[in-house]
Structure 1
Amino acid sequence: MTLDLEVNSPVVGAQAVMTGGGLRSQSKYVLTMRSTPVQVAAGLTDDAGNFRAQIKLPSKICVSGGLHELVLTGITPDGDALRDSSWIVLDDNCKSRSVRKAKPVDNTVTLGTFIFPHLSAKLTPHSKSVLRGLRSPIRTAKRMTITGYTQTTMKSKAARKFNRDLAKRRAAAVRAYLRSLGVRAPITIVGAGGVSPLRGKAQKYNRRVVIRVRY
């Protein structure tokens, strides 16, 4: 199963292509959204046990915000059940916040990266707007980790300490704003500083905070 979805885009009307083979002839295949099961689409294999169907995702796929599994199931000639999954994070407005083929390790996904002004730990209006949009998909989070970074050009011992402190203040600013929005999940903040530069990007993109959410 492949899903043609863009992050931060509406899910309803998005294209999904379902293909399979080697299944029982004229047997049923089903696409379901979990964990509260919602049947999204279904059909029958051909005489050779194959199928290919292109669908538009319907409005009933709009379940509550959080991490969900799209499961495509079929039956082998021996009667065994087969399944293929994709994982998606939805917000309450039925927009995708993350889409991935493999199950997230430890049910943890990256949901946000925010850029800060030079030498600043102050959230920009744009960052606040993005954080408000993340409020619903992180409502069911079990834990969050917010990691702050800085530019990576300063190498002295004093500069490294300054950058770690600045990075932690940036992470703390994101945590404080999420708390003001009513987010109650446990949050760990990390001041990584001037490490892990984004290759091929200008230094301003290293002035970032990354949010990882465990469901």
Structure 2
Amino acid sequence: MPRKRVAVLISGRGSNMAALIEAAKASDYPAEIALVLSNIADAGGLDTARKAGIQTAIIDHKPFGKDRAAFDRAMHEVLIAHRIELVCLAGFMRLLTPEFVALWKERMLNIHPALLPAFKGLDTHKRALEAGAKVHGATVHFVVPEMDAGPIIMQGAVVVRPDDTEATLGARVLKVEHTIYPASLKLVAEGRVQVVDGRCLIDGKPVPDAGALIPVA
């Protein structure tokens, strides 16, 4: 079966992008990273992609002003031109229009540094510490118009230590992200993920609830 052509959208260093690129080097991985697209011309991840021999594209959002729809249309045209089948958001700091999301329904993934539905939005590690959370983690989900609300594909958890800071907690969560994102993309590319009534089934079985996860130290 031909490998799925994947675009990764970034705005910064693209550490999750790098994890996806590394995973896709395996000959039996069902997806190839065919394009890395950024809205920031000097995003650090672009160099990483180029060194890996991956095509890159830049669509600067500034000339579009507040016309998010026009920016998204320009982005969609580039994705289609590169025959992209799946999209992975990896630190892409743009809110996408519902129209764009609809075009890529159940074909666009995002990684979020928290155990959704807890701690949607920004500053997740800080908020988890302030809330006294005992367990924290990361979530891969399909993108829907509402932020951080799409069907969950996979989650990974870490124990919150008494002496944790935002930095130490974030570093451990990032390791989890680098594991579950490539694993999630693999499942989707293999056609093993189905969305039924707003929830993901993996090989016909529901994704475990966050409370059932065994956190790593």
Instruction: Give the TM bin, normalised by the shorter chain.
Output: under 0.3
Higher relative strand content: 1
- Tell me which protein shows more helix as a share of its residues: 2
Please give the TM-score of this superposition, normalised by the length of structure 1: 0.24
- In the superposition, the TM-score normalised over structure 2's length comes to 0.24
